[in-house]
Amino acid sequence: LPTQVDVENLGGTMRLGAYRCEIKPGTLAYRAYGTTRIEERHRHRYEFNNAYREQLEKCGLIVSGVNPELDLVEIVELRDHPWFLGVQFHPELKSRALRAHPLFRDFVRAALEYKRSAEPEENGDNGLE
């Protein structure tokens, strides 16, 4: 990309380790975590471009989690979608076989609810017309 031509710092840009995140109440992320403050582990070189934040929010993107020190977007959701959530961190690093990460747990829960709502009623209706 033309914007990358003059980039000289190729090595020290890794965002590594645990970072704080402030979660907006009333969001899917808040429902999953049950709190407004979390700490999650990162290992990446990517950032949300805040230059587009306002424009994306006007189009339905919900910024539901932000790192307060650096004003970096950590969690996004889509308005009017049953369960769409994207994160900058690695929730799999805090998930265990018998103790799923809150985001994985709520994703599976939402998928099961969606499946149940799409199934025909148990009154003999097989969904066929």
Main-chain dihedrals φ then ψ at residue 6, nearest 5 degrees: -95, 10
Tell me what pLDDT residue 10 has: 56
* Domain annotation covers residue 6: no
* Domain annotation covers residue 58: yes
* Domain annotation covers residue 74: yes
CATH number at residue 73: 3.40.50.880
Number of domains in the chain: 1
* Domain annotation covers residue 33: yes
Summarize the confidence of residues 10-17 as an average pLDDT. Answer: 75
**pLDDT > 80? residue 128:** no
* Domain annotation covers residue 86: yes
* pTM (predicted TM-score): 0.82
Going through 24-79 in order, the beta strands assigned E by DSSP cover 37-44, 61-67, 72-78
Q: What is the rounded distance in angstroms from the CA atom of residue 68 to the CA atom of residue 124?
A: 54
Tell me what pLDDT residue 14 has: 85
* Domain annotation covers residue 113: yes
Summarize the confidence of residues 75-79 as an average pLDDT. Answer: 98
* Domain annotation covers residue 91: yes
Task: Summarize pLDDT for 14-69 with one digit per residue, the tens.
Answer: 889 999 999 999 999 999 999 999 999 999 888 999 999 999 999 999 999 999 99
**What is the residue type of 123?**
N
Q: What is the rounded distance in angstroms from the CA atom of residue 32 to the CA atom of residue 63?
A: 15
Give the containing element (helix H, strand E) for 56. Answer: helix 53-58
* Domain annotation covers residue 128: no
Q: Which domain holds residue 17?
A: 13-118
Q: Is there a contact between 18 and 47 (Cβ–Cβ < 8 Å)?
A: no
Tell me what pLDDT residue 105 has: 97
